Amino acid sequence: MAEPLYYEDLEVGSIRRFGHYQVTREEVLDFARKYDAQPFHLSDEGAAATHFGRLAASGWHTCSMTMAMMVEHAAVEPRSSLGALGIDELRWLKPVYPGDVLSCEMALLDKRRSRSKPGLGILNLRMTTFNQHGEAVLAMKPITLVRARES
């Protein structure tokens, strides 16, 4: 495993592209039954009369699939991540359908040292999730904590 990236290693303006997530019908249905049981997430019939036209994944499921790709990427390019403070500007831009293949792009917009915890850095990111056609389906701005080498 590679050495983790610390606050000092991360450059504002850097962009990382990663991920490959195959969206399956069964996973869309399972997630909807557990967490977002709206008709357009539960069946093609329920979605037919909506702008989706057919079974579509929950936006929250899209967030979860994005998170899965982020965690998988962190195993390849580890960061000294300590979780997130929150997410700004979460947007679901296009429906995600069974059969779609998702990938991600993460850009480091800004970084600063924590005033209250000098051993930590705060990263402002832009995360975009794309379908197999290169269309953005999700956009958000996570705010994450990372360890710094120097406090």
Q: Which tens digit of pLDDT belongs to each residue from 42-76?
A: 999 999 999 999 999 999 999 999 999 999 987 77
Would you tell me which CATH number, out of the four given (3.30.420.40, 3.10.129.10, 3.40.50.300, 3.30.750.24), belongs to the domain 7-23+57-147? 3.10.129.10
DSSP states along 49-113: TSTT-S----HHHHHHHHHHHHHHHHHHS-B-EEEEEEEEEEEE-S---TT-EEEEEEEEEEEEE
pTM: 0.92
Q: CA 20, CA 85: separation in Å to the nearest integer?
A: 26
- DSSP annotation of 136 reads E
DSSP states along 113-125: E-SS-TTEEEEEE
Q: Which tens digit of pLDDT belongs to each residue from 99-143?
A: 999 999 999 999 999 999 889 999 999 999 999 999 999 999 999
